[in-house]
Structures are given as structure tokens and as C-alpha cells.
Structure 1
Amino acid sequence: MKTVNFIIFLQVICLGNTYKILVVFPVPSPSHFILGSALARGLVNAGHDVTIVSPYKDKKPTENGKYSSIVLEELADIRNTLRKSNLFEVSESNPFKTAPFMDTLGNVVTNITLESINSKKSNILKEEFDLVILEYFRNDALMVLACHYKTPLVLFGTMGANLWVNSLVGSPSPPSYTPDLHLGYTDNMDFWQRLMNVLMYSMKKLREKFVFLPFQYELAKKHFPHCVGEEGPLSNVSLLLLNSHESVNNPVPFVPNMINIGGFHINPQKELPGDLKEYIDNAEEGVVYFSLGSNVKPSEMSNETKKALLNALGKIKQKVLWNWDEEFLPGKADNIRISKWFPQQDILAHPNVKLFITHGGLLSTIETIYHGVPILALPIFGDQKMNAARAVAGGYALSLPITKITEDNISDALNQLLNDPKYRDNAKKRSALIHDRQVKPMDLAIYWIEYVIRNKGAPHLKVASLNLTWYQYLLLDIISVVLIIGISLMFVSYLLLKRLCLSRKSDKKIKSN
């Protein structure tokens, strides 16, 4: 370990500067913390001094450099409250109600984060930083941290390019082929889907302008009045890092300061624990891995759904690893093994794993594409339906609504995915795409973060649309002037023609008389 630290020290001295970076990932969800801690660790391994603010304590902090962690315990309380709700019950909720809920959640998390940072217990505001990296998740008021520290601001988008983050860097979001993340559409939408997408887009934009942003403005003004002007919080986004990649997400327009780094959190494959390795190695027909992520309690699914899954999985030849949140699973067949935790990335990397039954979370989707494993998606909430729809369109997945599961449709889906080689072939093609990159995604993230610091916020990367009002951006002022001139010319022409016709009629009458 001393040798590794010495090598890193030499790299810092010879190749560049050590920067002090603040990383703020406030969302009370383990999957979000996985991304934040992975980015922080990568920056530390590159020789930088990193402080991460989040609701979680890193159980295995890196020893390769200076890595500090500030735990916002109040946000962990929100996590515990959310865990008490049954997410299976909201899986079929109206997406037009989901957007207001996400705004409300964002307001609560933002307020608690600002109060915690400003509390007497915290000395973080007295420190100095070279850069602020903020996970953006409906928390615009937190952008004032960059103003407070007088540093450039890097945003991190956990779900790829979408309506939430695109406007912050001036990137277009055409609703004709950019689906809203709550609707579960792909980029190939029919008429009615495009209509719903436009309605959702319009509703979110109006709510953002008249409800959400004013509230965020007040939060920022309350805690950092010196960083709030007449137009709202002083936000000046230098770079937007996105947890996405062309192999996973739909191709969409990017402005120069948007960078895809999807897959940066994936670690080199480690050897599985002895008993688990033996279990998978000895599976002659292969293994099906089943996990619904870190936010869902699988034990809370309905008895009918549970019975259908147990019966269908019990009939297949493959062994099953099921990430289950309790000690026992009554009614499970002999081929099913349960555990409260499995090393997911290392399991998916094993060649004997034939299928991943997943909720369709973006991290799980990226990991299964990275390792070339087909998907049976059982989406529940958030962006999972959209991720599942993209996977089905990509030919490496099938998807079933979690509330519509029966033994027959699960069995049919399992038989197709396990016996038709096209799904695994398409998954392998996607895997080849995510590996076919000029540089590793973590190296790309570190380069651009350092680039922004070196170039004082890189203002030359920002597009001019950020300086336009909404009506200027849509050219409504130009269209209005053109319409007014056109209508005026038509009206004047009409009057001239009318007068000309009347004069001719008068001439005819005079001649006839």
C-alpha cells in the first residue's frame, strides 16, 4: 500500500496539481451514493483532495489519498421514511402525479441539506475548494454552493440527458423524440405517445417556472442571500457529467459541456466468495440472478405475484440467486438460493449467468450491458419503465409490469430469454459497444473535471441559448414580427385593391352616363 501511495504522489508531482474538490450527493438512495462515492474515489486515486457530502458513511474509504466524508444523518431519516412505504403500490401510479411528488421530495432534501451544511456542527462552509461537484436531482438551490466557494460548478446527472438537466446547459430536448423519463417510452413514439409526451413536457415546464423554481429560490435566498440576485440563485454550470452511454441511452443532441461517463462506477471483476463461486461454477444449466435493487423490499410484493414468481422460477433448469430482504422465503424451490446481499457486478461477470431479472434501474442496466447478460425487466417506478422499454427495443430484454405478473407470462418470458439465443447475442453486441471507447469513463470524467478547473470554468464551452429568454429561444419574437408585417401588408394590399376596384366601378358608371 505504501508503494501505491508513493506512486500516486510521484504522479501528482510530475503530471499535475492536486485540487481540493467538494462532492455533494444528497439523494437518500444507496444507488446514488454508489455513483457519488465511485466518482470521489476516482478523483482521490488521481491525486486530488476530496470531501464528499451525502446521507451515507463510506464503509470502505479509499486509502490511496485524502478522502473525507461528511454524513448528513437527517437525510438518512428521509431514507428510512421512504423505506416504510410499499413501492409496489405506486408502480401503476399516474405519471402526471409523479412529477409533483419528485419536486416535493427535491424541496425537502434540498432544505435539509442546506440546513445541515449551515448548522453550527458543520465547519465545511469555512473551508476552501477549487471545484464543487453536485448531483442534480431537483435541488437547484444547492448550486449556490459554487457561488459561496467562488468555484466552477460541475453537475452530475444520474439518469442521462433529460428535461431536468438539459435546460441547465442549454441543450435541446425535442419532445418529438426525447421521451419524458416517467412515461416509459422510447425515442420512437407514435402519435398518442408524442401527444402525452408534449403534455408532460408542458406541465413540467409550467410547474417548474411558477412553483418549483420560486421555492428553490427562496431556499437559496434564506441560506445564501449573498449568492441570490433578482433572477434567482447564481448558478453557472461549467460541466454536466451524465451517467449514460450510447449503448444504453437513446442518441440525443449534446452541447459541448455535456459528457457521457456511464459505466464509470463498474469495478474490475473480483473473485466470488468460495461457496457462491462453487454454487455458480457447478450450475450445469447456468444461473438466473434476480434483484429488484436497493430501494425495494421484495417481501412486500403481493402474495399472488410472489407465488407466480416462485412457481415459474421453480420450474426452470437453471439455479436462481434471489436478492431477498428476509431470512426465509416460504415456498421456494430447491433451485432457488436467497440472500440479503449479493456481489452483483461480480455475479453478472460470471460466464455461467444466463439472465438478470431486474427492476430496470439504470445502474443495474448499465452493469448487465457491460457484462452482456440479457434482461427480464419488472419495472416499478421512476425511470425504470423507460429503461426497460429501451432494453426491449434493443432486443436484449423482455419486460412485464410488476402488477400484471402471472405464472404463465413469467414462464413464457423465462423460456424465451433462456432458450432463444438472439437475446444473449444482442446483449453481447451492446456489451461490445460499451467497451469500445477511446478512454475509460472514469479517466474521461477526471480529465474534464481537471479541464474545467484549469480553464477557470471553461466558459468557452457554453452555448448562447443560456442567454436567451424562452420566447427568444423559440424565435417567437421573430415569428410575431414577421406575422405582424405579413398581416399588415396583406391588409394594406386589401385596402389598395378595394380602393382600386371602387375607382374602376366609378369610372364605368361615369362613362355609361
Structure 2
Amino acid sequence: MSRHLITATLIVIVVLSHPGCAARILGVFPFPSLSHQIVFRGLTLALRERGHELVVVTPNPINDRTLKNYTEIDVSFLYQHLSLDWITLAKKYTWYEFVMKSTPIHSAMTEGILSHPELQKLYEPESGESFDLLLCETLRWPALLLLAKRFNIPTIGITSLYPPHQLHYQLGNPIMPSHPPYWNMKGTAVGKLTFWQRLYNFVATWRYLHHYRTTYTQEQQEIARKYFGNDVPDLGDLEKNVSLVFVNQQAPISFARPNVPNIIDIGGFHISDQRKPLSKDLQRILDEATQGFIYMSLGSNAKSASLTNKTRDEFVAAFSKIPYTVIWKFEDDRLPGQPENVHVMKWIQQQSILAHPNLKVFIYQGGLQSTEEAVSHAVPVIGLPVFCDQESNVDKIVSLGVGKKLDIFSVDRFGLMEAIHSIVRDDSYKQNMLKLRDLIKDKPYDTLKNAVWWTEHVIRHKGAPHLHSTTADDPWYQRQDMDLMFITSTAIWIAFSITLGVLHKLLTYSIYFLNQQHLIRKKEKVY
């Protein structure tokens, strides 16, 4: 009897520790950038801890054989498609121009994933494989949504960035090009946009959406037919029927805007309380930097080694004249003209270096994950945005009084030195960052636990149609009542035109009548 009681107790404990039934989840995260992947990894590992089984397609596998119920499909070859000089591209094109020119790159990446032998083995019709959920990076791979159709399962999207326009559109979110929180738009976060900035943004936004909904989506549709057969559904329908999307944004460091119910804010998944140790040499350098040190990194995509010689020399000249140690993530073996106070390294444990008490300023490219890390460690920043969402990220940070912004294409030694000295000497930047850190930590719930709950909610209910916004089903001209405004404006214009016509006729007849009366009186006087 006691043995049965013990068994029953163990069963209850297991059930209580994992309230949701264990599910099998397929995760597909194509974008070849570690800063993206660490966000997705935070959620997938948390789901594994909950007892779910995961198959993860990623270009940055963990390769930890001790992890049970966690299978990875390595697609690191995708890095070959994005081995680009981002700084040069950002100088030549706007982000939207680059995206519209990069259709072949994204299409090749989509085909590379769908043609991968390990993944094909899973989704081929006779595979016998089954899943309960598709967790997919929602950026520019709509053909991958056919995996959910293949297994007849719901989809949850996730993005490590602020949502691009097509994501807002597919979910029925308001399109707001006259407001600042969009990628590489005209205007800054500080102050209202001018009429011409708003007009530029309006044209650029709808031009991009037209390109995405026609040219790009049709090419993805052809890829879908190639791998899933000719009778595949319309990708636009699959996009708008995604159950919900996890968006890596946090209110204090992003712009407030209206959102439909199936957009769930997340953020800070990748920030760890446990610091990986720095090398002994680096630790010694930082500990001995009693006046403080500056840390510079342009992230994993934009590289300091890609700076022009002129721009690089301006950084070198500025760093040589400041009384602080400089740690610079520099990807080449040699930095020409390297000053004694500058130490270059190809790779650095960023969260560990940001946690060091002697750090005064973080010079960075404005990436969202780096922004979150800077805030979590209360380090003031100097932003040098290059592309994508970095412009709006830095604009927001500057508006909060926790950093400064410089143009990476025209930065000079004097402006850089002035920015460094002003942040180090003006304690308000540090104090504002401390307040921002407290604000971002003051939440009613843990965002990772909330994301896990929503994931299991979708699995339990086999989707989330109750969160679907009806505006996602409306054509573009009905989303903001453009058709009503057109009809109303046309009706008013017609009524106004008729009124003007009638008044013109009345005035003409009145003048004619008065002239006739005048002629009659004139004749009467003659006779």
C-alpha cells in the first residue's frame, strides 16, 4: 500500500511541476546572427525545462549533448549568404533599398533551409513525424510557414527586433509611418516629424509593403510550391493566421504604440545573472584601469575592421588623447597606429565586460540586444547606428538622457572626445541609466515565464483564433478607412462643386438681370 502511495505522490509531483502536457515543438530560426539567436535560445531552453521536446533549426547550435529532448539542425551555412560589409552597404543604401534589392539572398536562404536533408526527412509526407507547434522567426521567410500546414499545427512567430512593416500588416496592426519607431525612417525620436519627413515615410512604407506583398511573397510562393507541391495555400493567408507573435521590445526603451492582442512583448531573455569569467589578462587590464575604461564594439554584423581608413584613424586619434583605457572589439589582427591605452580583441564576453565597475562608457552600434545589456548594467552609451532598427534604438536612448548619438560616416575625433568627456564628467547620464534600469526591472511578471505560458496556451487550444484581429482580413484601403475618406471627400467635393456651379449661375443671372435693368432705365431716360 505504501509503495502505491509513493508512486501516486511522485506522479502528482511530476504533474504539478509540469502543468502543461509535454509537447513536441519545431523551432525554425534562420537569421545568421548570434544576437538574434540568443533571444530565441532563451525561450527554447525554457520550454525544454518545462518538459517539452524541441527540434531546433538554427545557424548557431549549442552543441550540448547533455541536453535531453533538444535536437538541433545546424544551418550555419546561412552565414555565407550574409557575409556582407554592412557598413559600406548602409552608406550606399537605405535599409529599405537594401531589403528590396536583397530578395535573391533571402530566397536562397529559404531554399537552403527547406532543402536541408535533416529537415526534409522530418517534413516529407511519409516521415511519420508529428509536432504540436511551429515556433518560427517572423522576418522574411513566409514559405517556412508551410511547415505548420504540413503538420497541421498552429504557429507562433518570434522576432528579436522591433517588428518590421510586413509583420504589423499581416497581423492587422495599424501602419503608422508618421511616427518614429520604424526602421531607417526620416526624422528622429526627439520632436515631431515635419510634413516632408512624414510624406517620405508614408511613400517609403507603402512602397516597401507593395514590394513585399507582390514581388517578394510571390517568389516565396514559388519556393513553397517547389518543396510542398502545387496546391499550397496562399502565403498571405498563412501569415495573417499566425496565432501570435513574440516581439522583443520593452516599453521603457521602445516607443509606445497601439498593438493587436496577439502581439506579446518580450525582452531581456538573453541577459544572464551568471557572468562568464574574462581572461586573466583582460581582467587585470580592467582592474588596473583606476580612472575607468571605455568599451567599443559594433556588434557581430557590422565590424570595426570594415570602417574606412579615415574613420578608423579618427577613432584612433580620439582614443589616444583620452586618459582612459580603451577595450576595442576589432576583428583584424592589427590596428594601424594603435595607441598604448587601446587594447584590441576579436571577441569579448560582452555581458561580463559591461558588468565591470570601472566601465565608464559603452560605444556601440545601437543593436537592441546590446541596448538591453547596457541598460541591465546601467552603462551610459554612445550610439553609432549603422542599419536596420539601430537608428530608432539610439534615438530612443538619447531621448531618455542616457547616451549620445554620433554619425558613424562623419564622426571626427573632436566630436567623439567631446561625447566621451561629457558622459564621463556629467553624472546625470549614469543616474538616468540607473533609473532606467530600475524602471525596466519593475514588471508585474517575468517576461520569459509569460512567453512560456502563452506558448503552452496556444498548444493547449491548438491555436489562438480568439486573438485574431479582424483588421488582418481587410484590404489595405479599409484598414484606416481610406475608402470611406475617399468617398466622403469625393462627395463633399462634388457637393461643393455643384454649390459653386449654382452660385456661379445665380451670380451670372443676377449680373445679367441688373445689366438689363440698367439698360432699360437708361433707355427710359433717353426717351
Q: TM-score, normalised by structure 2?
A: 0.85
Matches of 2:175 and 2:284, distance apart in 1: 49
Matches of 1:491 and 1:274, distance apart in 2: 79
One-letter amino acid of the structure 2 residue matched with residue 453 of structure 1 = I
Match in the other structure for 1:34: 38
Q: CA deviation at 1:192?
A: 2.8
Equivalent residues of 1:178, 1:252 under 8 A apart: no
Equivalent residues of 1:372, 1:427 under 8 A apart: yes
Match in the other structure for 1:100: 100
Query: Is 1:218 aligned to residue 222 of structure 2?
Result: yes
One-letter amino acid of the structure 2 residue matched with residue 257 of structure 1 = N
1:433–1:61 CA distance, 2 compared to 1 (3 A): farther
Give % identity: 31
1:484–1:100 CA distance, 2 compared to 1 (3 A): closer
390, 395, 411: which one pairs with 1:389?
395
- 1:457 is paired with a residue whose SS is coil
Match in the other structure for 2:368: 362
For residues 306-330 of structure 1, what are the alpha-carbon distances to aligned partners after superposition, in whole Å with 9 as ceiling and x for unaligned? Answer: 2221222222222222112233334
Structure 2 unpaired stretches of 5+: 1-9, 521-527
Matches of 2:11 and 2:308, distance apart in 1: 54
1:471–1:37 CA distance, 2 compared to 1 (3 A): same
357, 365, 375: which one pairs with 2:381?
375
Q: CA deviation at 1:388?
A: 1.9
Equivalent residues of 1:56, 1:76 under 8 A apart: no
299, 308, 331: which one pairs with 1:325?
331
Matches of 2:416 and 2:502, distance apart in 1: 75
- 1:247 is paired with a residue whose SS is helix
Match in the other structure for 2:273: 268
One-letter amino acid of the structure 2 residue matched with residue 436 of structure 1 = D
For residues 65-108 of structure 1, what are the alpha-carbon distances to aligned partners after superposition, in whole Å with 9 as ceiling and x for unaligned? Answer: 421100125423324xx1xx433322322315223134443222
Q: CA deviation at 1:249?
A: 1.1
455, 459, 471: which one pairs with 2:477?
471
1:371–1:501 CA distance, 2 compared to 1 (3 A): closer
Matches of 2:137 and 2:12, distance apart in 1: 27
46, 56, 61: which one pairs with 1:52?
56
191, 212, 235: which one pairs with 1:208?
212
Matches of 1:484 and 1:87, distance apart in 2: 47
Equivalent residues of 2:217, 2:235 under 8 A apart: no
Matches of 1:392 and 1:30, distance apart in 2: 26
The 5-angstrom pairing of residues 129-168 of structure 1 reads 129-168=131-170
Structure 1 unpaired stretches of 5+: 1-5
Matches of 1:280 and 1:102, distance apart in 2: 42
- CA RMSD across the alignment: 3.1
Equivalent residues of 2:292, 2:360 under 8 A apart: yes
Equivalent residues of 1:157, 1:165 under 8 A apart: no
1:117–1:401 CA distance, 2 compared to 1 (3 A): farther
Q: CA deviation at 1:55?
A: 2.2
Match in the other structure for 1:453: 459
Q: CA deviation at 1:430?
A: 1.7
The 5-angstrom pairing of residues 82-93 of structure 1 reads 82=83, 85-93=84-92
Matches of 1:147 and 1:325, distance apart in 2: 43
For residues 12-32 of structure 1, what are the alpha-carbon distances to aligned partners after superposition, in whole Å with 9 as ceiling and x for unaligned? Answer: 655231111111111122222
Match in the other structure for 2:3: none
1:373–1:497 CA distance, 2 compared to 1 (3 A): closer
1:477–1:118 CA distance, 2 compared to 1 (3 A): farther
Matches of 2:234 and 2:163, distance apart in 1: 28
Q: CA deviation at 1:489?
A: 6.6
1:10–1:318 CA distance, 2 compared to 1 (3 A): farther
Matches of 2:356 and 2:225, distance apart in 1: 51
1:488–1:251 CA distance, 2 compared to 1 (3 A): closer
78, 90, 96: which one pairs with 1:75?
78
Q: CA deviation at 1:46?
A: 2.3
One-letter amino acid of the structure 1 residue matched with residue 139 of structure 2 = F
The 5-angstrom pairing of residues 194-205 of structure 1 reads 194-205=198-209
For residues 403-456 of structure 1, what are the alpha-carbon distances to aligned partners after superposition, in whole Å with 9 as ceiling and x for unaligned? Answer: 212221111111112111122122222211221112222112111111111122
Matches of 2:286 and 2:116, distance apart in 1: 45
1:178–1:399 CA distance, 2 compared to 1 (3 A): closer
| Count of equivalent residues | 497
One-letter amino acid of the structure 1 residue matched with residue 101 of structure 2 = F
One-letter amino acid of the structure 1 residue matched with residue 260 of structure 2 = V
Matches of 2:308 and 2:36, distance apart in 1: 27
Comparing 202-211 and 453-462, the one that deviates more = 202-211
**Could you say which structure has the larger radius of gyration?**
2
